[in-house]
């Protein structure tokens, strides 16, 4: 079954219109949701709409409300909300072009694939794609869909174009409130060189398939194991956490970076004494000579004989 398009319409650049289709570039599946279960019966727990001090209420008595102050709500009817929704349009107007580095990463929200709607749209689509690539620009516009107007960007991606929904300015928290207390200092050249060496050592092409959510993998394994246990309850054993050293909080950054760059602790060169010990086996202590017969006789004479007990 072919994927369902998220949006179908035209991208308009001045007098040029390009029929396109937009498809989600991501899918859910990296998360696992749970239901609350009544253990004695094994049935899922449902929830009722209740009002404090009144109890369960009918669905027809429920309306939407917006809290303007604590405990005070403005009530809105469904038709009032529908009346202010943005009418979905079938045209995406490109209103501005910006350099690729001008948009901070936290404005990007969700990616979509953009493809020509038919063969007749191929030529204009390719012209737009290559023009964006040549100028290293990102196109901006506002897409009206499902009652909302979303800020979007377009950029070339391989043979196609990627559309990304963007957050509006009031949806992004200001970085200054978090970064203000960080010192504005320049690190020493030695530390900077070691850090850049470590980065270069660990640099490699990005392969997303090499990364997995280990928690989700373990959770799926646990669910699969318990589902095959024929109703037997399984208890997940506690895993002991490795002990962490509680030494000084002061970290020798230079030593840590050097150790990281070298791939482990640096090996000390063997001293002359250690080398000699490695080549020549250690001399064994000479064995003790057995005592002579004469010495043994004298020792026996000097030692008094044990007294025997008298029998009753």
Does 178 reside within a domain?
no
Does 89 reside within a domain?
yes
**Higher-pLDDT residue of 98, 220:** 98
**Count of domains forming the chain:** 1
14 DSSP assignment: T
State mean pLDDT over 6-25.
91
> Closest Cα partner for 23 from 167, 135, 157?
157
**Higher-pLDDT residue of 1, 110:** 110
Q: What is the pTM of this model?
A: 0.62
What confidence score (pLDDT) does residue 152 get?
94
Does 120 reside within a domain?
yes
Range of the domain at 112: 10-26+85-171
Which region holds residue 49: left if phi is over 0, alpha if psi is between -120 and 50, else beta?
beta
Percent of the chain with pLDDT over 90: 32
Q: Tell me the C-alpha to C-alpha distance, in Å, between residue 153 and each of 26, 69, 160, 162, 224.
A: 17, 36, 14, 8, 41
Does 106 reside within a domain?
yes
Q: Which two tokens stand for residue 103?
A: 């948009």
Percent of the chain with pLDDT over 70: 75
Written as one string, the DSSP assignment of 116-146 is ESSGGGHHHHHHHHHHHHHHTEEEEEEEEET
What confidence score (pLDDT) does residue 249 get?
40
> Is a pLDDT exceeding 70 seen at residue 277?
no
Give the confidence band of 302 by pLDDT, cuts at 50, 70, 90: very low
> Is a pLDDT exceeding 60 seen at residue 232?
no
> Closest Cα partner for 11 from 85, 95, 135?
95
Rounded distance between C-alpha atoms, residue 20 and residue 116, angstroms: 4
Rounded distance between C-alpha atoms, residue 18 and residue 8, angstroms: 11
Are the C-beta atoms of residues 75 and 64 closer than 8 Å to each other?
yes
Q: Is 116 exposed, middle or buried (0-12, 13-18, 19+ CB in 10 A)?
A: buried
Does 32 reside within a domain?
no
**Higher-pLDDT residue of 65, 283:** 65
φ and ψ of 134, to 5 deg: -70, -40
Q: How far apart are the first and last CA of the chain?
A: 111
Q: Which segment of 1-15, 40-54, 175-189, 275-289 scores lowest on mean pLDDT?
A: 275-289
Rounded distance between C-alpha atoms, residue 133 and residue 95, angstroms: 18
CATH number of the domain at 101, please.
Answer: 2.40.290.10
> Is a pLDDT exceeding 80 seen at residue 42?
yes
> Closest Cα partner for 198 from 262, 251, 244, 115?
262
Does 41 reside within a domain?
no
Q: What is the pLDDT of residues 63-113, one digit of tens each?
A: 899 898 988 999 888 888 888 877 667 899 999 999 989 999 999 999 999
């Amino acid at each position: 079954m072919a994927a369902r398009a998220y949006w179908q319409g035209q991208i308009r650049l001045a007098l040029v219109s390009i029929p396109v289709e937009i498809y989600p570039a991501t899918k859910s599946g990296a998360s696992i949701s749970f239901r609350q279960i009544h253990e004695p019966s094994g049935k899922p727990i449902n929830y009722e709409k209740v009002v404090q001090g009144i109890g369960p209420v009918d669905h027809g008595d429920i309306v939407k409300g917006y809290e303007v102050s604590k405990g005070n709500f403005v009530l809105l009817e469904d038709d009032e909300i529908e009346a202010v929704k943005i009418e979905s349009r079938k045209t995406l107007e490109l209103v501005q072009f910006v350099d690729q580095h001008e948009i901070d990463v936290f404005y990007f929200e969700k990616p979509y694939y953009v493809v020509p709607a038919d063969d007749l749209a191929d030529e204009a689509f390719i012209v737009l794609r290559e023009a964006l690539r040549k100028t290293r620009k990102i196109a901006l516009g506002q897409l009206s869909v499902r009652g909302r107007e979303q800020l979007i960007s377009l950029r070339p991606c391989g043979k196609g174009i990627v559309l990304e929904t963007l957050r509006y300015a009031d949806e992004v928290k200001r970085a200054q409130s978090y970064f203000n207390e960080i010192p504005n200092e320049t690190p020493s050249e030695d530390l900077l060189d070691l850090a850049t060496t470590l980065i270069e050592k660990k640099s490699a092409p990005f392969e997303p398939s090499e990364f997995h959510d280990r928690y989700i993998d373990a959770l799926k394994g646990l669910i699969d194991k318990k589902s095959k246990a024929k109703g037997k309850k399984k208890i997940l054993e506690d895993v002991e956490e490795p002990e962490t050293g509680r030494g000084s909080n002061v970290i020798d950054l230079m030593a840590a970076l050097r150790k990281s760059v070298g791939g482990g602790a640096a090996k000390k060169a063997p001293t002359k004494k250690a080398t000699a010990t490695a080549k020549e086996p250690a001399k064994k202590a000479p064995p003790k000579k057995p005592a002579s017969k004469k010495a043994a006789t004298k020792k026996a004479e000097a030692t008094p004989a044990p007294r025997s007990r008298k029998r009753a």
